[in-house]
């Protein structure tokens, strides 16, 4: 019995004291989900997300995309979505993302007006969208990009 008290009691004392010490975790950002359907967005049991309003994207702070190409094209948008105005007698435009994607994004390119002879051709990498079109001026081209990482 003396040996029991000698081994067990100190162990119990250590356990009791350590139970009061907690390990803290620092969380910078989080979203708390609830079953309240009136929230900013909804998430169902299979992780589908429902947005009751517009999906807005502000881009990465301090990292705006840019555009280069023939005929001095212009750009209004972010790395996620925007509109390119093709320059005078332009055949090319390249959107350079403000911050490179980790993996090649899936981008949808859609002209706002009908092209007269050929459709737009484009390639996408982690750092850019490169477009080629027939030689016309002022075509408006929308883009939307998303990636898994």
User: Each residue of 91-127: pLDDT tens digit?
Assistant: 899 999 999 999 999 999 998 887 666 678 899 999 9
What pLDDT score does 120 carry?
A: 83
Query: pTM surpassing 0.85?
Result: no
**The domain containing residue 126 runs over which residues?**
66-146
Residue 3 placed within a domain:
no
User: What's the pLDDT at 126?
Assistant: 96
Can you tell me whether residue 58 is helix, strand or coil?
A: coil
88 in any annotated domain: yes
Is 142 within 8 Å of 82 (Cβ atoms)? yes
Of 92, 93, 90, which is closest to residue 135 (Cα–Cα)? Answer: 90
What gap in Å lies between CA 93 and CA 86, rounded to an integer?
Answer: 7
Q: How far is CA 69 from CA 91, 96, 119, 149, in A?
A: 8, 11, 17, 28
Q: What is the pLDDT of residue 33?
A: 61
Q: Which residues of the chain have pLDDT under 70?
A: 1-39, 60-61, 115-118
Asked, for residue 25, whether it belongs to a domain, the answer is: no
The reported pLDDT for the residue numbered 137 is 74
> How far is it between the farthest Cα atoms of the chain?
98
Would you say residue 80 lies in a domain? Answer: yes
- The whole-angstrom separation of Cα 35 and Cα 107 is 34
Counted domains in the chain: 1
Does residue 102 belong to any structural domain of this protein? Answer: yes
Task: Give domain status of residue 58, yes or no.
Answer: no
Domain-embedded: residue 74: yes
pLDDT value of residue 108 = 95
CATH number at residue 121: 2.60.40
What pLDDT, on a 0 to 100 scale, did the predictor assign at position 21?
A: 53
In a domain, 20, yes or no: no
pLDDT number for residue 122: 93
């Amino acid at each position: 019995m003396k040996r029991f008290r000698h081994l067990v009691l100190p162990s119990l004392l250590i356990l009791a004291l350590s139970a009061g010490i907690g390990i803290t975790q620092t969380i910078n950002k989080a979203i708390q989900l609830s079953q309240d359907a009136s929230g900013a967005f909804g998430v169902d049991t299979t992780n589908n997300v429902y947005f009751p309003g517009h999906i807005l994207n502000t881009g990465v702070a301090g990292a705006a995309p840019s555009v280069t190409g023939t005929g001095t094209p212009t750009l209004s948008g972010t790395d996620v979505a925007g509109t390119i105005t093709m320059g005078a007698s332009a055949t090319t435009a390249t959107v350079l993302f403000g911050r490179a994607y980790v993996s090649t994004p899936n981008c949808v390119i859609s002209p706002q007006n009908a092209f007269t002879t050929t459709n737009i051709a484009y390639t996408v990498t982690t750092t850019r969208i490169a477009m080629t079109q027939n030689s016309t001026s002022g075509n408006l081209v929308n883009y939307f990009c998303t990636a898994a990482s």
